[in-house]
Amino acid sequence: MILLTDNPCVSLCKLDDDGVCLGCGRTKPEIKAWKALPDEQRHDINMRLLATGRKKARKLLLKRLRQHVKHQKAARGARP
């Protein structure tokens, strides 16, 4: 299973009135805690952003997910 734990920041860091980033869609507490969050929680946030997040963040996360899948397939193919 691939855990997508990459930071979804798209360098458009401005919070709306509800405290949600206009760039990536994370909440202020999620942004502040990102580095300390366990991989599973970062993955869950990224999955939420893929399903409901801002277009730029979804595009970035899909690109990174494809890279992870491609890397995983290549690693499997390299095994004897």
pLDDT, tens only, 16-52: 999 999 999 999 999 999 999 999 999 999 999 999 9
pLDDT at 79: 61
The pTM of this model reads 0.88
Phi, psi dihedral angles at 20 (to 5 degrees): -110, 135
In whole angstroms, what is the distance from residue 21 CA to residue 30 CA?
10
C-beta separation of 61 from 43 below 8 A: no
The ranges assigned to domains in the chain are 28-78
- Residue 8's pLDDT is what? 96
